[in-house]
Amino acid sequence: MSNLKITLVRGLAGKRKDQIEVAQSLGLTKMNQFKIHQDNSCTQGKIKKISHLVKVQEV
């Protein structure tokens, strides 16, 4: 399995509660913050939920 570098590129202010919770579950709370996660179905589902807020790169 590969790893994904997930970067929060848009702020969470004014976003829906469920989108904020997904971002926090990925460990993203501030703009331009990034985390490395394994590429699996759970992570892919979270990325799809907040795709307009994050940038994803394969590491």
Instruction: Give the pLDDT confidence of 25-50 residue by residue, as tens digits.
Output: 999 999 999 999 999 999 999 999 99
> How much is the pLDDT for 5?
98
49: CATH: 3.30.1390.20
Q: What is the DSSP string of 1-59?
A: --EEEEEE-S--TT--HHHHHHHHHTT--STT-EEEEE-SHHHHHHHHHTTTTEEEEE-
Whether 1 shows a pLDDT value over 90: the answer reads no
What's the total number of domains in the chain? 1
Containing structural domain, residue 14: 3-58
Query: Phi and psi dihedrals of 6, rounded to 5?
Result: -110, 120
